[in-house]
């Protein structure tokens, strides 16, 4: 009978789901909760069902008064609001409940269930259940939090010794014990073996230089130099500010603040577990802890994701800080981004549909990138030859040629254009190239191999003229040839021989025609079609070493796999080697004939020998 059926609440269901999640996995835990959700919905009261039915009407208005709490997103049975700093969770829920009741002209506030709390000085996403205690929404959300199936993400700024380079990940799993103070009106959490299990994972998003003011030093939890509060060089040395992305798996009171302080990295502006003064930075007005993202499921079983951007007062703190220069590729990547680490990392979009995942997959770095694009900028003071050259090539070679890495300038070279001839001066240039054809780019001259500047110029020109590396070449599609010749420039008459003269690059473009030759290989004829120019290298900007290593780094998937005992010659011919051991005929298996074959062989040998003896006797017998 249903009347006698025991109805589990959200806490009991979440505890069972947590055990299933640990032993079997998340999918089995969700299957358990889905079955209980059906049971909760069947016994839902009419009043709770009514609240989810008029949800869109309440949150779809355009009320922008100051007393309205910002609603980030909503769904069946759940709503995500933005809780500002300096407001308790209970006060925020009371305000929203009164707002909803006022809009619905109800005599009493709307029932909202608190499934998770944020500290008084913490801002960010606060999920709420639309229903009273014991409703389907309250049990459903409570079961997800108790079963540790909710993904929460925080952003915090802590101070102390370096945790590692940008991108470093770690975790803290010490048990926490909460003690009530002042008759239950306050509480304090500390690390204790008698406490409950807690787990906090973190990732370093950015590193900043500490300020040079006299209020730098913070009390250290690792008994490091500077704990006595004196502002000496030993206290500053080795300390920095770190922006972290934190993902707590459990939800203990003050968990993130206590865990980070326990490893000697207290949060900025934490007056309870961190500094005794107002803050390390005088410009930080409050605790630097923000709940950025919460991901769970609504009553319909669909993903519910609520995100809150960083408040303005915390963003202004990051603007005033200076990034720490990191050695190696990590620093080069951070500098190449050219944006704040928080915006760089936290702006990653999570796809929700198959089409969205496909689009974001195409935007990711590919093993084999597409053909590069050129940005042509013609200055007001550029010569007619340069302007005509850009028009002729249709976004072609300009006076300044450079490449970019992650939207920042990687290197640049400036060329002087001489002996320019436009395409209009060549009759063969009237015929357009076939769609999809790729030019054959030829670099000739020993200077391209030993001159570092010309090596860089060769790379730039190849990126500019080349249209990707094809897998196969069809002769009928090969109709253009671009020839770049490096010519060592000779000093002009009257100039000193000690003056260094840069080499010139002759750029010529030809039309290639394939005609019959009476053999398998066609006869190739070339006709110059322009543009015709000579380039002399002027000013250059070499790339940074770290960023250049990033630019030329080849992923493992793109590296050719080595074949054992197979080598490839310069002309593409493959040669294989076979390694044989020592040949011992005594141990090698040979063919053995049967007994019958042996008898026949012996008989044949005896017959041949008998014939030979008879012939010899006849030859020696005397004639009568």
Active site residues: 119
Q: At what angle do helices 26-42 and 10-23 cross, to 10 degrees?
A: 160
How far apart are the C-alpha atoms of 582 and 579, rounded to whole Å?
10
Say if residues 305 and 350 touch (Cβ distance below 8 Å): yes
Closest CA to 202 of 121, 241, 256, 147: 256
Rounded to the nearest 10°, the torsion over CA 311, 315, 316, 322 is 160
Q: Which tokens sit at 378?
A: 């013609």
How far apart are the C-alpha atoms of 532 and 428, rounded to whole Å?
13
Three-state SS sequence of 393-459: HCCCCCCEEEEEECCEEEEEEEEEEEEEECHHHCHHHHCCCCCCCCCEEEEECCHHHHCHHHHHHHH
Question: Please, what sign has the CA dihedral across residues 132, 133, 138, 139?
Answer: negative
Say if residues 468 and 370 touch (Cβ distance below 8 Å): yes
- Residue 34: CB atoms within 10 Å: 12
Say if residues 73 and 55 touch (Cβ distance below 8 Å): no
Query: 3-state class of 203 per DSSP?
Result: strand
How far apart are the C-alpha atoms of 487 and 519, rounded to whole Å?
36
Half-sphere CA count of 551, side-chain side, radius 13 A: 19
Query: 3-state class of 532 per DSSP?
Result: strand
How far apart are the C-alpha atoms of 139 and 124, rounded to whole Å?
23
Closest CA to 332 of 278, 405, 283, 433: 405
Closest CA to 464 of 476, 472, 456, 452: 456
How far apart are the C-alpha atoms of 163 and 174, rounded to whole Å?
18
- What backbone torsions phi and psi does residue 39 show, to the nearest 5 degrees? -70, -40
Half-sphere CA count of 161, side-chain side, radius 13 A: 12
Residue 429 CB contacts under 8 Å (≥ 6 apart), including other chains: 423, 511, 529, 530
H or E stretch covering 303: strand 303-307
Say if residues 480 and 439 touch (Cβ distance below 8 Å): yes
- Residue 297: CB atoms within 10 Å: 22
């Amino acid at each position: 009978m249903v009347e006698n059926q025991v109805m589990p609440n959200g806490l009991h269901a979440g505890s069972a789901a947590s055990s299933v999640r640990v032993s079997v996995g998340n999918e089995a835990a969700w299957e358990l909760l889905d079955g209980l959700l059906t049971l909760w919905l069947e016994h839902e009261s009419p009043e709770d069902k009514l609240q989810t039915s008029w949800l869109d009407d309440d949150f779809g208005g355009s009320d922008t008064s100051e007393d309205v709490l910002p609603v980030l997103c909503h769904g069946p049975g759940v709503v995500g609001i933005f809780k500002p700093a300096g407001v308790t969770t209970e006060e925020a829920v009371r305000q929203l409940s009164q707002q909803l009741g006022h809009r619905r002209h109800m005599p009493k506030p709307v029932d909202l269930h608190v499934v998770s709390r944020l500290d008084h000085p913490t801002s960010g996403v606060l999920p709420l259940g639309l229903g009273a205690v014991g409703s389907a929404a309250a049990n459903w959300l409570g079961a997800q939090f108790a079963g540790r199936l909710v993904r929460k993400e925080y952003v915090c700024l802590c101070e102390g010794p370096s945790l590692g380079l940008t991108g470093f990940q770690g975790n803290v799993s010490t048990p926490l014990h909460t003690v009530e103070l002042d008759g239950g009106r306050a509480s304090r959490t500390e690390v204790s073996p008698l406490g409950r299990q807690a787990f906090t994972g973190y990732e370093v998003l950015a590193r900043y230089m500490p300020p040079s003011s006299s209020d730098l030093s913070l009390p250290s939890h690792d008994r490091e130099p500077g704990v006595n509060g004196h502002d000496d060089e030993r206290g500053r040395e080795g300390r920095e500010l770190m922006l972290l992305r934190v993902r707590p798996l459990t939800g203990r009171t003050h968990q993130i603040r206590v865990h980070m302080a326990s490893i000697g990295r207290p949060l900025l502006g934490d007056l309870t577990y961190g500094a005794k003064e107002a803050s390390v930075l005088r410009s930080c007005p409050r605790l630097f802890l923000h709940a950025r993202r919460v991901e769970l499921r609504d009553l319909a079983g669909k993903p519910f994701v609520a995100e809150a951007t960083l408040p303005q007062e915390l963003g202004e703190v990051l603007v005033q800080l200076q990034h720490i220069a990191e050695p190696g590729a990590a620093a080069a990547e951070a500098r190449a981004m050219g944006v704040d680490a928080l915006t760089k990392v936290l702006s990653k979009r999570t796809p929700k549909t198959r089409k969205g995942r496909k689009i974001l997959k195409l935007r990711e770095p590919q093993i084999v990138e597409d053909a590069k694009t050129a940005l042509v900028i013609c200055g007001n003071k550029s010569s007619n030859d340069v302007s005509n050259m850009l028009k002729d090539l249709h976004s072609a070679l300009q006076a300044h040629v450079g490449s970019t890495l992650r939207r920042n300038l990687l290197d640049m070279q400036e060329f002087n254009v001489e002996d320019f001839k436009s395409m209009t001066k060549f009759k063969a240039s009237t015929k357009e190239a076939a769609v999809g054809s790729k030019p054959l780019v030829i670099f000739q001259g020993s200077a391209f191999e030993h001159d570092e500047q010309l090596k860089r110029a060769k790379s730039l020109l190849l990126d500019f003229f080349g249209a990707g590396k094809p897998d196969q070449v069809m002769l009928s599609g090969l109709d253009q040839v671009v020839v770049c010749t490096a010519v060592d420039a000779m000093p002009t008459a009257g100039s000193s021989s000690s003056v260094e003269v840069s080499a010139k690059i002759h750029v010529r473009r030809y039309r290639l025609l394939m005609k019959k030759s009476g053999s398998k290989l066609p006869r190739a004829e070339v006709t110059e079609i322009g543009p015709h120019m000579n380039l002399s290298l002027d000013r250059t900007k070499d790339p940074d070493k770290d960023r250049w290593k990033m630019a030329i780094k080849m992923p493992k998937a793109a590296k050719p796999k080595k074949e054992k005992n197979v080598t490839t010659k310069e002309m593409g011919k493959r040669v294989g080697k076979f390694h044989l051991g020592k040949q011992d005929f005594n141990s090698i298996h040979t063919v053995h004939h049967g007994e019958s074959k042996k008898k026949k062989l012996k008989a044949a040998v005896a017959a041949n020998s008998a014939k030979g003896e008879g012939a010899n006797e006849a030859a020696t017998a005397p004639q009568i």
